[in-house]
Structure 1
């Protein structure tokens, strides 16, 4: 980001930890705001494990790993983000939680030049921008999981976002982080999830009806269509709770049946079967 070497990240789950890691590996000072000591501990462990994998695969050396870890600090005070020119929100995909967070950021980070981005994968950016006194400074930046590996970021501007804010964010993503950017209009699901989610939900309905097993559905798409991963294993990787939330946002916006979460998905989420991160979804994981 022009004029600063520091970035603020809010949240340190799968996405927040990945964003913090990528920024730190590019030499940026990263301050991560978390809600509790447990969130900090889990977030720090996620970053450490990811960096260890990068070392084991030869992507970085031990010195680079240690340097990246040294650039990441944590805080439980949103006010600690004051002075950061770019603040990236990456908390859970929950509309009320995001609205509350942006409302607090508006009060705690008063720098008129700060740009705020949201990693939402389904919520219109306007919904979040409207609670801020500087809606022109709010941009959508949808990263993809795992952030250190996936090159794409969807950039979304609301009707109120200034061209300057979009330009600053896109320059940061492409020039500093080395990401690829696609622009999307401000509508639920943006480009990728508007196409991807109906496909994943269709695979779930096929399994739910007994038409085919999860293994055969996934094998059909990997071996028959050359997809790198089958839809149900991909759903497990994304997180079934996240997928249910995205589907809910899409259905609320468009009222199209293809966006509605099937009962099987809802029951799995209610039962804590969230996919790879919980150890069990459509498949079991160690």
Structure 2
């Protein structure tokens, strides 16, 4: 298998920044791409801030921080992805947007490059179908925050070659030092198929007045030893992302437990997206 030395990350949001950071810290050359130069530069600034905090915690030497930062190119030009061995898409959790992007990636990248998606819920086969290399398309689902969470789900579609599966699993495990699990190409994969119904159940409890957000979260942290309550976790993930994953799961399985509750829909429509907007089930605004 050809070694992976140059990784392109498409999408400079929270997940894209985290993936960029772990790749750069692993000694890889990374191209971070977004739709505008401003968004790409903002993504790079976020990575720089995270690297600085890692240095201040003693988790990174000043030399390693400088080397990691120097290995990242931020750009809005997709042609800069042409030399990548692996492209990881970390764009908005919207199937139309992702399929349109995969068509573009198929055109601008080297034919030997692997195209991976960090999607939380969209079947990989749908993304592979719009490319001319379905055997080289795979799911590579990281968890937030990427530098901290050890897990990566590897999701081959029915068309993904064994060589591609082994290549990305070795990349995540041996190069990035992550723990990998293999998931079937079904909406939600392993983790979100279990996690999202739990989060949605907590939202329903708030919506029906069964309990407050504070009491629900305290119940799960103090009563079940969870490190974080379901509603703070939903806020951390992003309520829009939780809703999008729920929609994808419901479309796939048609089971009511996957359907986003009315309260969640209203909050997303109102721009109350959780930590990233400053307000969700809890407030994150500076005092």
Moved more, 3-12 or 203-212: 3-12
Q: Residues of 1 paired with 2:201 and 2:277: CA distance?
A: 23
Change (3 A) 1:260 1:4: closer
Q: Give how far 1:2 is off.
A: 3.4
Q: Residue by residue, what CA displacement relative to the aligned partner does 1:80-129 show, whole Å, maximum 9, x if unpaired?
A: 111211111111101000000000111111x2321110000000000000
Match of 1:165 in 2: 164
Secondary structure at the counterpart of residue 123 of structure 1: coil
Contact 2:32 2:44 survives alignment (8 Å): no
Q: Give how far 1:64 is off.
A: 1.7
> 5+ residue gaps in structure 1?
none
Q: Give how far 1:57 is off.
A: 1.9
Length-normalised TM-score, structure 2: 0.97
Runs of 4+ deviating beyond 6 Å: none
Secondary structure at the counterpart of residue 15 of structure 1: helix
Q: Residue by residue, what CA displacement relative to the aligned partner does 1:136-188 show, whole Å, maximum 9, x if unpaired?
A: 00010010000000000001010000000001000111010000001100000
Q: How many residues align?
A: 285
Q: Give how far 1:46 is off.
A: 1.4
Q: Residues of 2 paired with 1:3 and 1:59: CA distance?
A: 26
Q: Give how far 1:62 is off.
A: 2.2
Query: Which residues in structure 2 correspond to 1:166-245 (within 5 Å)?
Result: 166-245=165-244
Match of 1:58 in 2: 58
Contact 2:202 2:230 survives alignment (8 Å): yes
Secondary structure at the counterpart of residue 266 of structure 1: helix
Q: Residue by residue, what CA displacement relative to the aligned partner does 1:23-79 show, whole Å, maximum 9, x if unpaired?
A: 000111101121102211320121122112212222112222221111110222212
Secondary structure at the counterpart of residue 154 of structure 2: strand
Match of 1:143 in 2: 142
Q: Residues of 2 paired with 1:159 and 1:5: CA distance?
A: 27
Secondary structure at the counterpart of residue 68 of structure 1: helix
Q: Residues of 2 paired with 1:113 and 1:37: CA distance?
A: 27
Length-normalised TM-score, structure 1: 0.97
Secondary structure at the counterpart of residue 2 of structure 1: coil
Moved more, 56-65 or 138-147: 56-65
Q: Residues of 2 paired with 1:37 and 1:172: CA distance?
A: 28
Q: Residues of 2 paired with 1:107 and 1:37: CA distance?
A: 21
